[in-house]
């Protein structure tokens, strides 16, 4: 099956091919085009459109539908995919894979060009499907495989009309194999949950011991822990937070404890600087946003 929809036909074709999605084009009247072809159980599409948002609440009704798992390679534009509390940048330098049976929002603030692969859930193992509770974004070590994948997708779109059904299905299986190779390689580098919990406790202890360091970074923590920054982020996913959010929340909690202790040996500025805040103004704004009161007001409540 081959589709080529342009202009006013774009939105209807997108819903027919991608599921029950809501498309919002705020004030955009530019060119839109969607070209799509079936490759056996896989569907391959190329899309060009102006700024728009895509909201998916429950796109797929059946696990065998060919749009159960989606892969995007974006060749123009910088977008963001939000799903399950995580954000993934969608750009030309990475593959993004996600499960559209889970609610998501894809924000495209400017014009985009992309190729999109829709793949049946049954083509993936249970560990990979569990991994896709949040968007997968490829790392630099996948760059070579990503280029092979993109090259094959682009060539296939140009030649699909010349291929018979058997040849298209064969190409679809090759694309699936490449995607599985990428995901399985990523999985083999992932620590299991027990290991992540051990890592998480080590990282939290390191952060608490170094709160005074205003330049603490995930890269530095990862170097100290002997792992990659990705492992650090994965460990904090189990707590439904990020390293940065944990760090700043801990700094603010420690600041409130000190201000409520009754010890006035340190000024409010001293408390801020001793916990890694770069300025008193930054500290005051963050403190008020967190506790709905200024540091001075909190200290003043202590008799």
Please count the other Cβ atoms lying within 10 Å of the Cβ belonging to residue 292: 8
* Mean pLDDT across 170-192: 77
Domain boundary among 173, 188, 203: 188
* Mean pLDDT lowest among 62-66, 228-232, 244-248: 62-66
The domain tally of the chain equals 2
- pLDDT at position 247, please? 92
Whether residues 173 and 40 fall in one domain: yes
Whether residues 101 and 226 fall in one domain: no
Residues 153-166 as b/e (b if ≥16 CB within 10 A, e otherwise) read beebbeebeeeeee
Whether residues 183 and 230 fall in one domain: no
pLDDT greater than 80 at residue 202? yes
pLDDT greater than 90 at residue 115? yes
Q: What is the pLDDT of residues 34-80, one digit of tens each?
A: 888 999 989 999 999 888 888 887 655 554 455 579 999 998 888 99
Strand order in the sheet with 52-56: 21-24, 52-56, 104-108, 79-83, 86-90
- For position 36, which CATH number holds? 2.60.120.10
Q: Can you give the pTM of this predicted structure?
A: 0.60
What confidence tier does 303 reach under pLDDT thresholds 50, 70, 90? low
Whether residues 170 and 202 fall in one domain: no
Whether residues 68 and 179 fall in one domain: yes
- pLDDT at position 141, please? 67
Whether residues 216 and 286 fall in one domain: yes
φ/ψ of residue 107, rounded to 5:
-100, 125
- pLDDT at position 64, please? 46
- For position 240, which CATH number holds? 1.10.10.60
- Domain limits at 62? 2-188
Q: What is the pLDDT of residues 7-38, one digit of tens each?
A: 778 877 877 777 767 778 876 666 888 888 99
| HSE (side-chain half, CA atoms, 13 Å) at 284 | 10
Burial class (CB in 10 A: 0-12, 13-18, 19+), 234: buried
* Mean pLDDT lowest among 16-30, 150-164, 217-231, 288-302: 16-30
Domain boundary among 159, 188, 217: 188
Task: Report d(CA 131, CA 73) in Å as an integer.
Answer: 19
- pLDDT at position 67, please? 59
Whether residues 56 and 124 fall in one domain: yes
Task: State what percent of residues in the chain have pLDDT above 90.
Answer: 18
Residues forming beta bridges with residue 118, ordered by sequence position:
43, 70
Domain boundary among 157, 188, 219: 188
- pLDDT at position 194, please? 66
* Mean pLDDT across 263-270: 83
Whether residues 146 and 176 fall in one domain: yes
- pLDDT at position 225, please? 75
Whether residues 138 and 220 fall in one domain: no
Whether residues 131 and 201 fall in one domain: no
pLDDT greater than 70 at residue 191? no
Residues forming beta bridges with residue 44, ordered by sequence position:
37, 117
Whether residues 148 and 209 fall in one domain: no
Whether residues 199 and 183 fall in one domain: no
What confidence tier does 196 reach under pLDDT thresholds 50, 70, 90? confident
Q: What is the pLDDT of residues 276-302, one digit of tens each?
A: 888 888 888 888 888 888 888 888 776
| CA 93 vs CA 87, 107, 140: distances in Å | 16, 17, 8
């Amino acid at each position: 099956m081959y589709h080529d929809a342009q202009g006013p036909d774009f939105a209807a074709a997108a819903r027919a091919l991608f599921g029950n999605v809501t498309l919002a084009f705020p004030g955009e009247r530019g060119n839109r085009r969607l070209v799509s072809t079936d490759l056996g159980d896989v569907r391959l599409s190329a899309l060009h459109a102006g700024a728009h948002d895509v909201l998916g609440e429950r796109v797929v009704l059946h696990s065998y539908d060919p749009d159960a798992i989606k892969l995007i390679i974006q060749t123009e534009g910088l977008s963001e995919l939000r799903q399950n509390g995580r954000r993934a940048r969608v750009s030309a330098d990475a593959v993004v894979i996600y499960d559209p049976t889970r609610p998501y929002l894809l924000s495209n603030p400017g014009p985009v060009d992309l190729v999109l692969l829709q793949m049946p859930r049954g083509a993936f193992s249970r560990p990979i499907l569990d991994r896709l509770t949040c968007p997968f974004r490829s790392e630099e070590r996948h760059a070579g495989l990503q280029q092979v994948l993109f090259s094959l997708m682009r060539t296939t779109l140009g030649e699909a009309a010349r291929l018979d059904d058997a040849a298209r299905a064969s190409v679809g299986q090759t694309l699936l194999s490449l995607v599985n190779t990428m995901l399985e390689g990523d999985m083999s580098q992932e620590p299991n949950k027990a290991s992540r919990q051990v890592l998480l406790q080590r990282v939290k202890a390191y952060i608490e011991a170094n709160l005074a360091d205003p330049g603490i970074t995930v890269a530095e923590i990862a170097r100290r822990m002997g792992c990659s920054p990705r492992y650090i982020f994965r460990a904090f996913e189990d707590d439904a937070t990020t390293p940065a959010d944990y760090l700043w929340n801990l700094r603010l909690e420690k600041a409130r404890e000190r201000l409520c202790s009754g010890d006035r040996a340190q000024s409010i500025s001293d408390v801020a600087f001793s916990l890694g805040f770069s300025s008193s103004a930054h500290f005051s704004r963050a403190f008020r946003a967190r506790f709905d009161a200024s540091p001075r007001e909190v200290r003043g409540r202590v008799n």
